[in-house]
Copies of this chain bind each other. A is one copy, B any other.
């Protein structure tokens, strides 16, 4: 089964949002062995939308659209699908009833314009709304068309409840499994030099690289009749790659550094607290991204102002005076302060200069990260590159990498 994802909405083409729906759907389809060969995005324009949907139906078996199902006049996905399939729109009375009671339950009157949302192309099967916008799917000789709303959580819920069950059967016997080896501290080309011969020899799993923000992901993707057989194809190759990359490969235990660190802490029954400055809260946010973070995460002190580093974290005045807020000594004192203030086993810290201007003589991209565990405190200096956002993300990667190294030691 070949699927294609069409993002709908002028906000995508004006760059006001990223197409995260395409990412979420692609990632879900990969796990059930549905191949996605193309993404596209088109604006709220009936003609171009119809043209893209028709083109997609010609080259793919399943087309999933996201967006354009709302109540406002710029939402014309229903019309575009009807046009491509050569059918009319009919009001779905079941959905209309649900919509009315949705508003009633909240004690609000339903704007009449909302009923546009329940006018579906003839022959379409309704997908019950999660918020107010229903989705639908149509089985047609050209292929299967599935229309989902653009609001990410509404789309996500329909994907889980309706789309994946619908396509899982159809995808048949082949299952795709992907695994990633996270590499920190070694660039993309040096990573490749170490494993080039393995990459060249392999066709199942295939191996690809993804680099960004101080991390390289080596992705192994295998296809097989079952998840177990796909995993069995990946296992020896992954082992080989890990042994070549040595300490630079993050030990298995999750698909992201926060997950790896979280799982290591959970296994030890240990807790963590953070002291961060240039990252403004991103380290805490990353560690609490996934559910269950309260098992190990106690809190973070975002000490952006220098005074806050002293008052909240207890970084000694002479450390700040003689070394400055961006220094090895301050990172060390912050890691210690985080552990002490929150009463955590592991204290992490990050201080640095995100830019765009240098600070107290330190150039943009200067980063110090620290980790305090037991009676040891380790500090590393890392060079961030790129823009402000990039420097901040590299700092998050660096402190989490130091955390996993300290926990492994």
Contacts and interface: CB of A to CB of B under 8 A. Distances in A.
Given A26-B14, A70-B209, A303 B307 contact: no
Interface residues of A, number: 113
Nearest to A383: B106
A193 B112 CA distance: 9
Interface in A203-222: 208-212, 217, 219, 221
Contacts of A357: 291
Identify whether the interface residues of A are mostly helix, strand, loop, or mixed: mixed
Q: How many copies does the complex hold?
A: 2
Contacts of A74: 208-209
Interface in A283-342: 283-289, 291, 293-294, 297-305, 307-308, 311-312, 341-342
A180 B11 CA distance: 11
Interface in A45-90: 45, 48, 52, 70-74
A44 B386 contact: no
A185 to B, nearest CB: 13
A373 interface: no
A39 B27 contact: no
Contact of A16 (B18, B210, B274, B301): B210
A15 interface: yes
B299 A71 contact: no
B11 A28 contact: no
Nearest to A114: B189
Interface of A: 7, 9-20, 22-30, 36-45, 48, 52, 70-74, 108, 111, 113-114, 131-132, 151-154, 156-157, 178, 180, 188-190, 192-193, 196, 199-200, 208-212, 217, 219, 221, 271, 273-274, 276, 279-289, 291, 293-294, 297-305, 307-308, 311-312, 341-343, 354-357, 385-390
